Structure 1
Amino acid sequence: MENPPTGPEQLATRTAEIMRDGDRASRAAGVDVVAVTPGRATATMTVRPEQVNGHGVCHGGYLFLFADTAMAYASNSHGVSALASGADIAFLRPAREGDVLTAEAVERAASGRSGLYDVTVRAADGTVVAEFRGRTRQVPGLSPVTARP
């Protein structure tokens, strides 16, 4: 049996590894979570042809999924399962096919079982594409670290 994580950084890394294994939705959308530390996560995604809407820009649903994925990894980084309880997104600039996007999620507040997260989605040139604010609720007993071997 594998040794349990011993510190916050190791716990965040191990939780992300376990989540990644089961996160078929994000994987199917081409989201790659590239960094996770306690209360933070960074993900990348290249806008694919099937993600572009009739206006020739990335569909807002994909941008929402992208930002929500970054929040999910940041909010679960403490080793206790957390689910989104609500979120809002502001679409500020269009993203187009081939654009490489980065989503950076940051924990703004945690109180009891509730969390508040901000996610900024940027294009490769640093232009802010969207701002996302999400709320989470921890679900004790369903820890990603203990839920699967």
Structure 2
Amino acid sequence: MSAVGTDTRRARAQRLLAGDPSTREPGVELVDATEEELVLRLPVGEQDANGVGVCHGGVIYHLGDSCAGIAANCSGTGSWVTTTATVTYVAPGRPGDVLTARSRVRWDGGRSRLVDTEITGPRGTVALMQSQMLRLRTAEGEGQ
């Protein structure tokens, strides 16, 4: 993709993140937005720990879902939302870690998309996620 296309994709990702306080306020940052993938990161704080001292699964899910949603909304046209998501947690994140989520649109069926996301930390993969996204219906009746 040309530099202009990548810049446009990055600018759209930045606008989406700026308009989403539930993702922005915990400290999620945009790392990259290319034709192939979208990358976000989140420093894990003490407030993100569960009762056994590791990063709460909901924090990991939120990072992955945000990354998948922004990736879907930066690919093509329309507004996309998650309808289902399957997460497999393979290792814990810990306070002090920086988690990185990488999302790729794997399939685009016009009205739905599948997005694969991997969340990693300093010791490797933390979680794998697959999300199904649905294009919202517009006022003109396009989409769902």
The TM-score, its normalising length taken from structure 2, stands at 0.86
Tell me by how many angstroms 1:10 deviates.
4.2
1:109 is aligned to 107
1:145 is aligned to none
1:15 to 12, 28, 38: 12
Whether 1:53 aligns to 2:82 is no
Structure 2 letter corresponding to 1:55: V
State how far apart, in whole Å, the 2-side matches of 1:51 and 1:86 are.
Answer: 24
> Pairwise mapping of residues 60-99 of structure 1 onto structure 2 (< 5 A)?
60-77=57-74, 78-99=76-97
State how far apart, in whole Å, the 2-side matches of 1:39 and 1:81 are.
Answer: 19
Tell me by how many angstroms 1:80 deviates.
2.1
State how far apart, in whole Å, the 2-side matches of 1:140 and 1:80 are.
Answer: 9
Cα deviation code 1:5-44 (max 9, x no counterpart)? xx64344223212212211011122211211123621011
Count of aligned pairs between the two proteins:
135
The question of whether the paired residues in 1 share the 8 Å contact of 2:84 and 2:133 is answered with yes
Q: Which runs of 5+ in 2 are unaligned?
A: 140-144
State how far apart, in whole Å, the 1-side matches of 2:71 and 2:35 are.
Answer: 7
Q: Which runs of 5+ in 1 are unaligned?
A: 1-6, 143-149
Choose between structure 1 and 2 for higher RCO, CA contacts under 8 A separated by at least 6 residues. Answer: 1
Tell me by how many angstroms 1:140 deviates.
5.0
With over 3 angstroms needed to count, the CA separation of the structure-2 counterparts of 1:79 and 1:21, relative to structure 1, is farther
2:31 is aligned to 34
The question of whether the paired residues in 1 share the 8 Å contact of 2:18 and 2:24 is answered with no
Cα deviation code 1:93-120 (max 9, x no counterpart)? 0111001111100111001110001100
Cα deviation code 1:23-82 (max 9, x no counterpart)? 101112221121112362101111111100000000000000000111011100124211
The question of whether the paired residues in 1 share the 8 Å contact of 2:73 and 2:80 is answered with yes
Structure 1 SS opposite 2:17: helix
The TM-score, its normalising length taken from structure 1, stands at 0.83
